[in-house]
Amino acid sequence: MRKPNGLSRRGVLAGAAGLVATGALAACGSNTGRGSSGGGSGPTIAQWYHQYGEAGVEQAVKRYAKAYSKANVQVQWTAGDYDTKLATALVGSGGPDVFEQSVAKVDQVRAHQLADLTDVFGAAKDDFTPAVLDAQTVDGKIYGIPQAIDMQMLFYRKSWLAKAGVSAPTTLAELASAAKKLTNKKVKGLFLGNDGGAGVLGAVPLWSIGQGYLSEDQRKVGFEAEAAAPVFAALRTMYSSGSLLLGAPADWSDPSAFTQGLTAMQWSGLWAVPVVQKALGNDFGVVAWPKGDDSGKPSVPIGAYASTVNAKSRHVDAAKAFAKWLWIDKTGYQRDFDLSYGFHIPARTSIAAKADKLSSGAGKDAVDLVQRYGKVQATPGWTSPMNTAYTDALNNIIRKGSNPESELKTAIGKIDKQLRTLYK
Partner 1 sequence: MSGRDVTGGDVAHASARDRRRARRHGRQRTWPAFWVFVGPFLAGLILFTFLPIVWSAVLSFFDAHNTVTPTRFVGLANYVDMLTNSDFLASLGTFSVFAVFIVPTTVAISLGLALLVHRLRFARAFFRSVFFLPAACSYVVAALIWKLSIFNGVRFGLANTVLGLFDVDQVPWLSSASPPWYWVALVTLRLWLQVGFYMVLFLAGLQRIPGELYEAAYVDGAKPGWQVFRYITLPQLRATTVAVVLLNLIAAYQAFDEFYNLMSSARGYPPFARPPLVYLYFTALGQGQDFGHGSAGAVILALLIGIVTVLQGKLFGFGRRD
13 binds partner 1 (CB under 8 A): yes
Distance in Å, CB of 224 to partner 1, minimum: 22
3-state secondary structure the chain: CECCCCCEHHHHHHHHHHHHHHHHHHHHCCCCCCCCCCCCCCCEEEEEEECCCCCCHHHHHHHHHHHCCCCEEEEEEECCCHHHHHHHHHHCCCCCCEEEECCCCHHHHHCCCECCCHHHHHHHHHHECHHHHHCCEECCEECCEEEEEEEEEEEECHHHHHHCCCCCCCEHHHHHHHHHHCCCCCCEEEECCCCCCCCCCCCHHHHCCCCCCECCCCCCECCCHHHHHHHHHHHHHHHHCCCECCCCCCCCCCCHHHHCCCEEEEEEEHHHHHHHHHHHCCCCEEECECECCCCCCCEEEEEEEEEEEECCCCCHHHHHHHHHHHHHHCHHHHHHHHHCCCCCEECEHHHHHCCHHHHCHHHHHHHHHHHHHEEECCCCCCCHHHHHHHHHHHHHHHCCCCCHHHHHHHHHHHHHHHHHHHCC
Binding partner 1 (rule: CB under 8 A), the pick from 58, 107, 224, 416 is 107
* 7 near partner 1, judged by CB under 8 A: no
Nearest to partner 1 of 106, 221 (CB atom):
106
> Does 401 engage in binding with partner 1 (CB under 8 A)?
yes
173 binds partner 1 (CB under 8 A): no
Residue 262 lies near partner 1 (rule: CB under 8 A): yes
| Touching partner 1, residues 108-147 (CB under 8 A) | 108, 110-111, 113
Angle (nearest 5°) at CA 288 between 285 and 293: 135
Q: Which is nearer to partner 1, 262 or 280 (CB)?
A: 262
Query: Counting contacts by CB under 8 A, is residue 91 touching partner 1?
Result: yes
Q: Does 83 bind partner 1 (CB under 8 A)?
A: yes
Interface size with partner 1, residues (CB under 8 A): 48
* Cβ pair 393, 410 in contact under 8 A: yes
311 binds partner 1 (CB under 8 A): no
**Taking the complex as a whole, how short is the minimal distance between the CB of residue 123 and partner 1, in angstroms?**
34
Contact 75, 307 (CB under 8 A): no
Per CB under 8 A, the segment of 16-24, 64-72, 141-149, 325-333 that binds partner 1 is 16-24
Which one, 24 or 353, has the nearer CB to partner 1?
24
Task: Kindly state whether residue 245 participates in binding partner 1, applying the rule CB under 8 A.
Answer: yes
Identified binder of partner 1 from the candidate list 2, 400, 403, 420, rule CB under 8 A = 400
Cβ closest to partner 1, residue 122 vs residue 242: 242
Shortest Å, Cβ 304 to partner 1: 17
Any contact of residue 251 with partner 1 (CB under 8 A)?
Answer: yes
Which member of 3, 7, 24, 159 binds partner 1 (CB under 8 A)?
A: 24
Is residue 261 within the footprint of partner 1 (CB under 8 A)?
A: no
Q: Which one of the spans 158-166, 248-256, 314-322, 325-333 is the region binding partner 1 (CB under 8 A)?
A: 248-256
Q: Per CB under 8 A, does 16 bind partner 1?
A: yes
Write out the residues near partner 1 by the rule CB under 8 A.
9, 13, 16-17, 20-21, 24, 83-84, 87-88, 90-92, 107-108, 110-111, 113, 186, 193-196, 198-200, 240, 242, 245-249, 251-253, 262, 384-385, 388, 391-392, 395-396, 399-401
